[in-house]
Structure 1
Amino acid sequence: MASTSIKEVARQAGVSIGTVSNVLNRPHTVAADTRERVLAAISALGYVRNDSARQLRAGRSRQIAVVVLDVTNPFFTDVVTGVEDAVTENDLMVVVCNSGDSEDRQLRHLDQLEEQRVRGVLITPVEARPGERIERLVERGTPVVLVDRGADWTNGCRVTVDDAMGGRLAGEHLVASGHARIAFVGGPESIPQVAERHTGVAAAVRGKAKLTVVRTPHLTVTDGRRAAAQIAELSDERRPTAVFCANDLLALGVLQEMTARGVRVPHDIALVGYDDITFAAAAAVPLSSVRQPREQLGRTAADLLLQEISEGEAHVHRHVEFQPELVVRESSARG
């Protein structure tokens, strides 16, 4: 069924198209009785204004875009929730794009978002540093804020978490719990957060415990199960008694596989994840995890973007870094 046009509304109300436009955009300029006739016609015909066309004519939209690496990861769901809280308070809307950790998909999203004249972009880029396409977006006047990425980037704001500190917190906890053989599960190392969490745990256990590194191609539950299988098949004298995972999805996979093999968590092997997603506390064995302020991360990134949109060239780019905290639950409870 074709949508109702503004011309039909004008005909129904017995007014000009310009009067209908005034009712929609400048209602105070229209006499009350005329305004009521137009509103009645809009209601009767089910007219919906074409806001996107109006925005494009004005050269600006009411949309803020968020480009995430993996829309299925609850970490990004919580980040987007924080973004949405900040953006909707400013009468704007959020468009979420999933790059799927693919540079090609990220490039297509950025091309389409620029065509749609979005007001700004919040992005966790696939590459460790902003690529040429992101830099070009900034040069053409679209503000960009990096979320959980972009060491030393100066062309825009960025919001990060001290992941090396998070790794240290996990390592220190496991060493203090008496573990002398610890595994770090995560990958690929090309992801800066993974590399930094590895660096942190390695520093914490150096000289105190042996660290075994189990690389994973992705940060998924499936990869966690595969890593757990590798660990479980090690000989008794080499098998770690504790595992620190680069995110909670990996840790949940490790927990599933160990449970399936009859390995008890934490009695036979302790387990710590990272992110503290909702599922961590709800797991069959509640999961210890390094908590990131996920929603605050998103809200802060959105606030910085809105400030830049409002201030224009007067805006001064900022880097906001949050500190993680360790939440200890049953999966790594001391004996």
Structure 2
Amino acid sequence: MRSRPSPLRRALPWFIAGILLAGVGLPGSAFAESGLRTGPLIGEGHAIPASNRTEVVQVVMTDAPAYSPASFTANVSSNLSVDLFNNGSLAHTFTVSPIPNYVLPLNWTPSQLDHFYATEGALASVNVSAGHHAWANLTLNASITPGAYEIYSLIPYQFQAGMSGKILVQGGPGLQLFENTTDSLAFVPNILDLSPSSYPVTVDVLVTNLGNDGHTFTMSPLANVTLLPSNFTQFFQQHSPLTNAPIPSGAGNAAWANFTVYSPGVYQYICTITGHFANGMYGFLYVGVPIPPPPPPLSTAIVQGWILVGVAALLGVGIAVVIVASLTGRVPPPPKTSDAHH
């Protein structure tokens, strides 16, 4: 009567198969891991053509007489639209001198001011009646010279009474970037890269919400300063952010973050919603400086060597067991029995 095979003998084929599979699979996984190299997602900035960039500024005209604000910035290679509102009881004009960095003398008479306007022209001149809105549209193409362009009113004696201001036209063109926010409390990408040709440079970032929660896109005004969850509130109380754009809740909603950078460096941006920064919602804007390469993957050269040695040993054991089994027929061999005669 045959005895049942021992557990070792029953498990032997599976043991040999496991050794052989290990010999095939381990080297492949080792080589696959050696090829892994991860790095951050990077958003690249690009120049905005004048036809694609429109800057909108709101200016209130008062009977003081004055413009509010009295000065504002614009950029070369952009279309500037000024939304004018006259909240007074007198008519006013919004007239822009075409000569950069030229200060109109306050002692000019109305006739002298009219002569200047008739001789030199204007980048724009709009008359706004009391209580009305109007638009002043200026095309600041690449040929315009950066500088301060004076604003004045042609209504007699309003300029002499102080109704003047300035448009500060900065070099350009501006640069545009794209950013996203997620409910996993992350900016995607979390690194933005700009390579401006000159400074200052205007930057427009379109931030799109990919999740449901609201966020902010808030950027440090100081380069090469690292913010922490424990100090950012006090920091922004002492240093106004370059931009602090609220990103509306709801997937697909977006907002523009517009700001000006005056020097190269690394600028950190964060979400100021409670708990978001502490959970990793921050990123870095590299302006005119190289982005450090990602850290190299852990070396697998030594690990692969030990894996290959181990696999070779396992294969050798497996082959030896198979050879012994084929020669003896059983592993372990069957027990010796003697014939019993009764």
TM-score range, shorter chain: under 0.3
Radius of gyration: which is bigger?
2
Q: Indicate the structure with greater strand content.
A: 2
Q: TM-score, normalised by structure 1?
A: 0.21
Q: Indicate the structure with greater helix content.
A: 1
